[in-house]
């Protein structure tokens, strides 16, 4: 009555022979365990920019990084102050990333 693949899922089966439906078959009730397959967890690759922060220990590179960030924030203060908060955050984040990449470099 059931495919061999699913035979371990049947827990309890009962037929009702006394029920007369005027046919040759008897009604059956089965308790079935349903196993849900867990989703396959694919390898989700997230690209993370890693900067060489060890260069901050060198005084020359640290000063260069500080100057670049301060210059970008000075320029941002002169721009339009009525922009959206999310847009302002994206500008700040992008300025910090570009300053770090130019002065510190990326990690190998």
Tens-level pLDDT at each residue, the chain (108 residues): 778 888 888 899 888 887 676 777 888 888 988 877 777 777 767 777 788 888 888 888 888 888 888 888 887 776 666 667 888 888 888 888 888 888 888 876
Reported as type and span, the H/E element at residue 98 is: helix 85-103
**Please, which contacts does 15-21 make with residues 24 or more away whose CB atoms are closer than 8 Å?**
none
Whether the pTM exceeds 0.85: the reply is no
């Amino acid at each position: 009555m059931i495919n061999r693949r699913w035979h371990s899922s049947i827990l309890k089966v009962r037929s009702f022979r006394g029920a007369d439906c005027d046919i040759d078959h008897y009604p059956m009730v089965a308790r079935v365990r349903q196993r849900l397959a867990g989703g396959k967890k694919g390898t989700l690759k997230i690209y993370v920019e890693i900067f060489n922060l060890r260069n901050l220990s060198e005084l020359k590179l640290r000063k260069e990084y500080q100057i670049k960030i301060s210059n970008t924030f000075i320029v941002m203060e002169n721009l339009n102050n009525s922009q959206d908060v999310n847009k302002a955050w994206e500008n700040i984040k992008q300025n910090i990333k570009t300053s770090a990449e130019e002065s510190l470099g990326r990690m190998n």
